[in-house]
């Protein structure tokens, strides 16, 4: 039963997509690629995304697992449709969160004297971000949304099929159980399943990661090159860059605002947010008016009022966003940019296949509890691999731990040039390995590997086909590593006749790792949403043109709808003809003439 619900959700979403393709930006005026370049806004290089974990110039003998030709990448369209990108949370035990029961309600929690007032459910959505979907559900249940009344382990994107656990704290939990199931028929793009009562709220970051299943459309290279690219990703991993989601798509460069906030330059940060130089990229006329008021009049209250009423959002959603530390999102954008630049510096200056002197490394692989500095004897002994190299993530009120090589020197100079003050950890006075506690900045692995990586080459008939069954099989069968080579000859021959080819990738990543960065290692193309928006528009337009050409070739023309008055006239004419024939038959019977002659006439 759950398959039918999820499939219907995707089909309805894709129907909306064909009429109005999803944009990566918020609703409103779309910004062309040339305008984005003119504003210096968020191309890959602008946010520090430059190099790959396996460089294209690396030569590998042809008798090994892959060839040097495979480093050219596969290309392909990412997020061509909402049905092409699936994300499911992995719970604390590593199990995939996927809807199981859309019909019944688990009321076992009511046996404890009604003490359980926390409702937990699986939220399946597409076309909604997590905050908007939870806000809509809370409004339908008449619940005031806040951090105390709702909880989830992470936020999921709008342009994908996502599944995650959500908790809602309510005084009427028992009645909410039934009301939740009724929302499946009311909300478009949202399905609710596995409703139950639990003891505690979910907290941000409690999940163990995410399971991704991604369809890359319009693959034009050979299958051997596709296989080589996936093998390269499996062996070398990918650069653990912060993706474009971390930097936002709003009209104001979040990295610049974050830099000013971290430097406690409050007035300059406010002026940057409300600057009129971003008016042509505003999402609404009200937002542009608010910026104009702030710059010309200096009246922050009037500008805030104009800005608050310019968005078509309900009150509970506005209150929920006001409780979020928006300034923290801007600060994170800047610190993510600093980290990306450090990662690029490290991979361009030093060996990409092993740890070098001065690198910071996690003593135990996949465990950042203890960090050490690589010494010459460590390199000679081959004690640490590139997968153990970590880089610091700049954070407020945290001591920084820099690599003791050119990467650390460059990062230190960059922060000082931006006017930011920080305190460093004294490695000379500390015993190695150094334990990371709450006073030290967090660490992030330089290279990340996909777990349970599988691939499948598929073919399809139309650029807008929804490959639901193939995606579902790859998404839930995490141990499957097939590539479509085990099919019968007849099945392969039938698929080879289909005009389009795609690649389905399925893999798991820990929290805060970006699947788009893993896909980038395979496609070797830019990851900014505008790149794929333009490609998607071109593909869908080509599909529409092909469909019209096919109708013309087959002689099919759209049937024009007749007016009611025309149908009545035709009916009257038909009745008059029948009456005339009947009168003629009567006359001929009297003259004894054959009736067949009337029919022939």
Q: Residue 508: helix, strand or coil by DSSP?
A: strand
CB 478 within 8 Å of CB 253: no
- What's the whole-number mean pLDDT along residues 433-454? 87
At 36 the pLDDT is: 45
Q: What is the pLDDT of residue 5?
A: 73
The pLDDT, as a whole number, for residue 289 is 65
Q: For residues 165-172, give the mean pLDDT.
A: 82
CA 347 to chain centre: 27
Q: Please return the burial class of 355, using the count of CB atoms within 10 Å of its CB with bins 0-12, 13-18 and 19+.
A: buried
Q: Which residue has the higher pLDDT, 574 or 556?
A: 574
**E strands along 107-153, which residues?**
118-125, 150-152
What's the token pair of residue 290? 């608010």
pLDDT at 59: 43
Across the range 478-494, mean pLDDT stands at 50
pLDDT above 80: residue 591: no
292-344 confidence digits (pLDDT tens) = 665 555 555 565 666 555 444 344 334 433 444 456 777 888 899 999 999 99
Among 35-39, 213-217, 469-473, 488-492, the least confident range: 35-39
Query: How far lies 336's CA from each of 42, 208, 255, 446, in Å?
Result: 13, 21, 9, 13
User: Which of 373, 338, 339, 343 shows the shortest CA–CA distance to 356?
Assistant: 373
Question: Among 62-66, 223-227, 258-262, 395-399, which stretch is predicted with the lowest mean pLDDT?
Answer: 62-66
And the tokens for 29?
Answer: 């005026």
What are the backbone dihedrals phi and psi of residue 204, each rounded to the nearest 5 degrees, phi first?
-60, 130
Q: Which of 340-354, 415-429, 484-498 has the lowest mean pLDDT?
A: 484-498
Q: 29 or 89, which is more confident?
A: 89
Tell me what pLDDT residue 448 has. 95
Dist CA 422 CA 416 (whole Å): 9
**Sorting pLDDT into bands at 50, 70 and 90, what band is 21?**
very low
pLDDT of residue 302: 62
Are β-strands 434-435 and 360-364 bridged in parallel, bridged antiparallel, or unpaired? unpaired
**Tokens at 132, concatenated:** 């908007």
Closest CA to 473 of 445, 519, 435, 504: 504
- d(CA 75, CA 232) in angstroms, rounded, equals 15
End-to-end CA distance of the chain: 61
> Please, what CATH class does the domain formed by 95-207 belong to?
alpha beta
Hey, which residues does 193 pair with through a beta bridge?
122
pLDDT exceeds cutoff 60 at 479:
no
- In terms of average pLDDT, the best of 2-6, 284-288, 328-332 is 328-332
Residues facing residue 151 across a β-bridge: 167
Contact 178, 105 (CB under 8 A): yes
The better pLDDT of the pair 71, 44 is held by 44
Q: What is the pLDDT of residue 65?
A: 38
Listed residue (404, 397, 402, 441) closest to 420, CA to CA: 397
Q: Which of 6-10, 262-266, 505-509, 567-571 has the highest mean pLDDT?
A: 505-509
Q: Which two tokens stand for residue 271?
A: 């002026």
Cis peptide before 433 (omega within 30 of 0): yes
> Which of the pair, 515 or 182, is modelled with greater confidence?
515
Q: What is the pLDDT of residue 491?
A: 54
Instruction: Average the pLDDT over each of 20-29, 225-234, 355-364, 443-452 and give the range with the smallest value.
Output: 20-29
Task: Calculate the average pLDDT of the chain.
Answer: 76
**Sign of the dihedral defined by the CA atoms of residues 220, 224, 230, 232, in that order:** negative
What is the DSSP secondary-structure string of 375-438? Answer: -HHHHHHT--BGGGEEEE---TT-BB---SSHHHHHHHHHHHHTT----B--STTSPSSEEP-T
Q: State which H helix or E strand residue 348 sits in.
A: helix 326-349
Pairing of strands 451-460, 500-509: antiparallel
pLDDT in tens, 503-556: 999 999 999 999 999 999 999 988 887 766 766 676 666 666 665 665 554 444
Tell me if 300 sits within 8 A of 271, measured CB to CB.
no
* pLDDT of residue 365 exceeding 70: yes
- Is residue 178 over pLDDT 50? yes
Of residues 592 and 49, more confidently modeled: 49
What is the pLDDT, as a whole number, of residue 84?
92
56 has a pLDDT exceeding 70? no
Output 163 or 543, whichever has higher pLDDT: 163
Q: Output the pLDDT for position 118.
A: 86
Q: What confidence tens digit (pLDDT) does each residue in 101-154 have?
A: 887 777 665 545 555 578 899 999 998 888 889 989 988 888 877 777 788 998
Buried b / exposed e along 46-71 (16+ C-beta atoms within 10 A): bbbbbbbbbeeeeebeeeeebeeebb
């Amino acid at each position: 039963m759950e398959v039918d619900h999820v499939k219907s959700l995707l089909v309805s979403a894709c129907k909306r997509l064909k009429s109005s393709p999803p944009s990566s930006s918020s609703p409103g005026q779309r910004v062309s690629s040339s305008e984005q370049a003119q504003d210096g806004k968020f191309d890959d290089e602008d946010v520090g995304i430059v190099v790959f974990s396996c460089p294209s110039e690396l030569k590998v003998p042809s008798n090994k697992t892959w060839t040097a030709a495979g480093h050219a990448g596969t290309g392909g369209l990412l997020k061509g449709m909402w049905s092409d990108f699936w994300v499911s949370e992995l719970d604390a035990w590593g199990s995939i969160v996927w809807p199981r029961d859309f019909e019944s309600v688990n009321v076992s929690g009511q046996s404890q004297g009604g003490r359980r007032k926390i409702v937990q459910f699986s939220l399946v959505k597409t076309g909604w971000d997590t905050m908007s979907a939870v806000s809509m559900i809370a409004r339908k249940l008449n619940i005031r949304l806040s951090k105390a009344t709702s909880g989830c382990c992470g936020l999921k994107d709008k342009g994908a099929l996502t599944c995650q656990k959500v908790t809602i704290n309510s005084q009427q939990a028992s009645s909410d159980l039934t009301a939740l199931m009724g929302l499946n028929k009311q909300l478009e793009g949202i399905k609710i399943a596995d409703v139950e009562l639990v003891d505690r709220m979910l907290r941000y970051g409690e999940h163990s990661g995410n399971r991704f299943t991604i369809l890359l459309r319009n693959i034009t290279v050979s299958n051997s090159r596709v296989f080589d690219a996936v093998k390269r990703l499996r062996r070398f991993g990918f650069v653990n860059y912060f993706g474009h989601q971390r930097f936002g798509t709003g009209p104001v460069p979040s990295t610049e605002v974050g830099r000013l906030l971290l430097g406690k330059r409050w007035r300059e940060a406010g002026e940057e947010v409300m600057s009129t130089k971003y008016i042509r990229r505003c999402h609404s006329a009200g937002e542009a008016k608010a910026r104009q008021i702030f710059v010309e009049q200096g009246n922050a209250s009037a500008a805030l009022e104009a800005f608050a009423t310019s968005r078509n959002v309900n009150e509970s959603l506005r209150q929920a966003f006001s409780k979020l530390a928006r300034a923290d999102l801007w600060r994170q954008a800047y610190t993510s940019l600093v980290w990306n630049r450090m990662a690029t510096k490290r991979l361009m200056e030093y060996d990409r296949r092993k740890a070098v002197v001065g690198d910071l490394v996690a003593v135990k692989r996949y465990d950042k509890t203890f960090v050490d500095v690589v010494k010459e004897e460590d390199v000679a002994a081959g004690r640490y691999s590139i997968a153990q190299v970590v880089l610091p993530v700049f954070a407020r009120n945290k001591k920084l731990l820099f690599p003791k090589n050119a990467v650390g020197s460059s990062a230190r100079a960059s922060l000082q040039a931006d006017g930011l003050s920080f305190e460093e950890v004294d490695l000379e006075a500390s015993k190695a390995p150094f334990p990371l506690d709450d006073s030290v900045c967090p660490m992030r692995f330089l290279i990340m590997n996909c777990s349970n990586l599988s691939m499948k080459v598929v073919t399809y008939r139309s650029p807008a086909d929804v490959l639901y069954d193939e995606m579902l099989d790859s998404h839930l069968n995490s141990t499957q590593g097939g590539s479509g080579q085990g099919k019968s000859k007849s099945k392969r021959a039938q698929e080879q006749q289909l005009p389009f080819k795609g690649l389905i990738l399925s893999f798991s990543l820990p929290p805060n790792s970006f699947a788009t960065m893993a896909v980038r290692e395979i496609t070797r193309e830019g990851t900014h949403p505008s790149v794929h928006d333009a490609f998607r528009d071109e593909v869908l337009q080509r599909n529409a043109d092909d469909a019209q050409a096919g109708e013309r070739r087959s002689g099919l023309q759209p049937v024009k709808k007749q007016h009611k008055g025309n149908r009545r006239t035709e009916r009257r004419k038909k009745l008059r003809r029948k009456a005339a024939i009947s009168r003629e038959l009567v006359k001929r019977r009297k003259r004894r003439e054959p009736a067949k002659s009337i029919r022939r006439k």
